[in-house]
Chains A and B, each alone.
Chain A
Amino acid sequence: MDMTPKLAIRLNALTLYGVSAVLILAFYWQLAYDEVPCPLCLLQRVALTGLAVGPILTIRHGPRPANYGLVIIAALMGAAIAARQILLHIMPGDPGFGSAFLGLHFYTWAFLCFVMAILWAAVMLTFGKQFAPQPNAPARNTFDVLAVWLIIGFTGLNAASALLECGFSGCPANPARYQLLN
């Protein structure tokens, strides 16, 4: 299979939709079940938003190996944060932090997502034809552009939510309420 720049851009847009879906799920859980995210949970969301910068560069300027490098770096940061939270609750009898989704806690799902992102970037890097110089700017459609603005929008919503939760000072270690709503 030939990985054309057009196909690579489409796959990067799909990845952005995937990252947005994870953020939407986390947001839904936060609001529907009134679970205020802890600092390490927020950091994992921050790393998730960091994953999006590489694909946006690919959609806007065309595929380059460095863009996939950015995905791997952000995913390594996120995996380190999620792994620490897994290790905090790894002892038998520890109920874990927050509720579980499909049998796994959200930080475990986050770790799996970051590992999958590393794998995805590594696989994409093996398809070299997408990096061939192109005479024209890469073609984008509404599907790609919507993916970009969706993830930027959800990052902005997360910024607003973090501000409501932590207020204008440092975030508490185990937040139970929104500082700015009291």
Chain B
Amino acid sequence: MEFFIAFFNFALAMWLAWRHEAPSAVYVFFAGLVFTAALYLRHAKDALPLSF
């Protein structure tokens, strides 16, 4: 469901970019970006096999 929301968010941003003025699309774009970052933090839990 979470990835459906992420894809839907960017599809909505594209539709707004096409049908409406720019600001609404940009707001939805940034909302999608924050949601994507949250999904990344939720799913990127495996420890990297690296040492620095």
From residue A22, how far is it (CB to closest CB) to chain B in Å? Answer: 14
Task: Judge if A8 is at the interface, Cβ distance under 8 Å.
Answer: no
If A88-B46, A90-B49, A148-B14 touch, whether A155 touches B7 (CB-CB below 8 Å) is yes
Residues of chain A within 8 A (CB-CB) of B1 are 163, 166-170
Task: Judge if A129 is at the interface, Cβ distance under 8 Å.
Answer: no
Task: Judge if A96 is at the interface, Cβ distance under 8 Å.
Answer: no
Task: Judge if A11 is at the interface, Cβ distance under 8 Å.
Answer: no
Main secondary structure of the interface of B (DSSP, over half): helix
Query: When the two chains form the complex, which single residue of A42, A152, A162 contacts B15, counting CB atoms closer than 8 Å?
Result: A152
Chain B interface residue bracket vs A: 20 to 34
Interface residue ranges of B12-52 to A (CB < 8 Å): 13-15, 17-18, 21-22, 25-26, 29, 32-33, 36-37, 39-40, 43-44, 46, 48-50
- B22→A171 contact, CB < 8 A: no
Question: Closest chain A residue to B7 by CB distance?
Answer: A159
If A53-B17, A90-B50 touch, whether A171 touches B11 (CB-CB below 8 Å) is no
From residue B14, how far is it (CB to closest CB) to chain A in Å? Answer: 5
- A81→B48 contact, CB < 8 A: no
- A53→B37 contact, CB < 8 A: no
From residue B2, how far is it (CB to closest CB) to chain A in Å? Answer: 6
- B25→A43 contact, CB < 8 A: no
List the 4 shortest-distance A-B pairs measured between CB atoms, nearest first. Answer: A159-B7, A162-B3, A39-B43, A163-B4
Show the binding face of B for A, using Cβ within 8 Å. 1-4, 6-8, 10-11, 13-15, 17-18, 21-22, 25-26, 29, 32-33, 36-37, 39-40, 43-44, 46, 48-50
11 intermolecular pairs with C-beta atoms under 8 Å apart: A39-B43, A43-B39, A49-B11, A50-B13, A52-B10, A53-B26, A57-B22, A61-B22, A91-B49, A94-B49, A170-B1
Show the binding face of A for B, using Cβ within 8 Å. 39-40, 42-43, 45-47, 49-50, 52-53, 56-57, 60-61, 64, 66, 70, 73-74, 77, 80-81, 84, 87-88, 90-91, 94, 148, 151-152, 155-156, 158-160, 162-163, 165-171, 173
